[in-house]
């Protein structure tokens, strides 16, 4: 009985952090100067393109052509989100072979991109930064994923983000592109952290954000829900897109 009460409390708390999006659209923010590079932004599960606006404005001010994507993350499984929705969004930009296409993602957005790139070639692919991605799934989904409330809030894609036989991230293998991963280690809820082994950001353990083949990895003291809005995170995103590594302070 006590276990069920804890689970229900955890699920209810998810409501505070999730803002559902029921349609998809790509918003191109005009750059302040000319550049040949596009940056496609992909938000996480249950969020909207608004969660990526701060990153988008920072990148746009540097001259990047920003494509901020809103998509129905809670309505379809990851396979459909990647092969149908993301594919349609990328297609117009893939024609410009001289223009690099970078990606910046939060949470499940990174898994959607990984699934897409596993099944599609993108000749003009640039660099990718994933912020708090469940690259090896999340034990939180293992604990809560079969409940009615979780399924109702997070849809079919949410259930695919665990570490069990339904896990899409664990089926994707290593990456073969220039990837930088930023993990948070400041959990926002002690109940969630009890379900997640090791340091975590409240949703994903630091260890499970990693993926074989990534080029660089960075841990910052931020929580899952708001990490993509932190100034230091945004500066690290920019540094990786420009240099292929994260910035380290001089020792």
Cα-only R_g, the chain: 17
Cβ atoms < 10 Å from Cβ of 159: 20
Q: How confident is the model at residue 15, as a pLDDT?
A: 40
Cβ pair 184, 222 in contact under 8 A: yes
Q: How confident is the model at residue 35, as a pLDDT?
A: 60
Cβ pair 163, 138 in contact under 8 A: yes
Q: What domains appear along the chain, each with residue ranges and CATH number?
A: 22-136+172-184+205-243 (3.40.50.1820)
Q: Which residues contact 229 (CB under 8 A, 6 or more apart)?
A: 51, 54, 55
Q: How confident is the model at residue 235, as a pLDDT?
A: 98
Q: How confident is the model at residue 95, as a pLDDT?
A: 78
Question: What whole-number distance in Å separates Cα of residue 28 and Cα of residue 160?
Answer: 30
DSSP conformation letters of 45-81: TT--GGGGHHHHHHHHHTT-EEEEEE--TTTS-HHHI
Exposure class string for 195-227: b at 16+ Cβ within 10 A, else e:
bbeeebbbbbbbebbebeebbbebebebbbbbb
Cβ pair 168, 115 in contact under 8 A: yes
Tokens 């409501």, residue located? 15
Alpha carbon separation from 121 to 42, 99, 117, 173, 241 (Å, rounded): 19, 15, 6, 16, 20
Q: How confident is the model at residue 94, as a pLDDT?
A: 82
Q: What angle do CA 147, 152, 154 make, to 5 degrees?
A: 95
Coil, helix or strand at residue 152:
helix
Q: How confident is the model at residue 33, as a pLDDT?
A: 44
* pLDDT averaged per 10 residues, the chain (length 251): 50 41 47 70 97 98 96 97 96 83 98 98 96 98 93 96 96 98 92 92 97 98 96 98 90 35
Coil, helix or strand at residue 102:
strand
Strand partners, 130: 105, 181
Q: Is the dihedral of CA 89, 158, 181, 32 positive or negative?
A: positive
Q: Which two tokens stand for residue 6?
A: 């804890």
Which DSSP symbol is given to 141? H
Cβ pair 131, 182 in contact under 8 A: yes
């Amino acid at each position: 009985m006590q276990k069920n009460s804890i689970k229900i409390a955890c699920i209810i708390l998810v409501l505070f952090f999730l803002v559902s999006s029921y349609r998809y659209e790509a918003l191109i923010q005009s750059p302040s100067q000319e550049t040949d590079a596009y940056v496609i932004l992909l938000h996480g599960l249950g969020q909207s393109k608004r969660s990526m606006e701060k990153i988008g404005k920072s990148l746009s001010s540097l001259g990047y052509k920003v494509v901020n994507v809103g998509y129905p993350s809670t309505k379809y499984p990851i396979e459909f989100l990647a092969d149908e929705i993301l594919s349609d969004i990328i297609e117009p930009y893939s024609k410009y072979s001289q223009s690099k296409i970078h990606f910046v993602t939060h949470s499940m957005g990174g898994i959607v991109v990984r699934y897409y790139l596993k099944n599609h070639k993108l000749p003009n692919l640039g660099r990718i930064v994933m912020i708090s991605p469940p690259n090896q799934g999340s034990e939180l989904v293992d604990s809560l994923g079969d409940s009615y409330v979780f399924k109702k809030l997070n849809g079919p894609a949410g259930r695919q983000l665990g570490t069990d036989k339904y896990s899409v991230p664990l089926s994707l293998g290593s990456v073969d592109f220039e990837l930088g991963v930023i993990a948070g280690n400041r959990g926002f809820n002690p109940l969630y952290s009890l379900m997640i082994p090791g340091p975590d950001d409240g949703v994903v353990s630091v260890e499970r954000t990693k993926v074989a083949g990534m080029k660089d990895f960075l841990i910052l003291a931020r929580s899952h829900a708001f990490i993509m809005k932190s100034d230091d995170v945004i500066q690290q995103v920019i540094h990786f897109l420009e240099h292929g590594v994260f910035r380290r302070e001089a020792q």
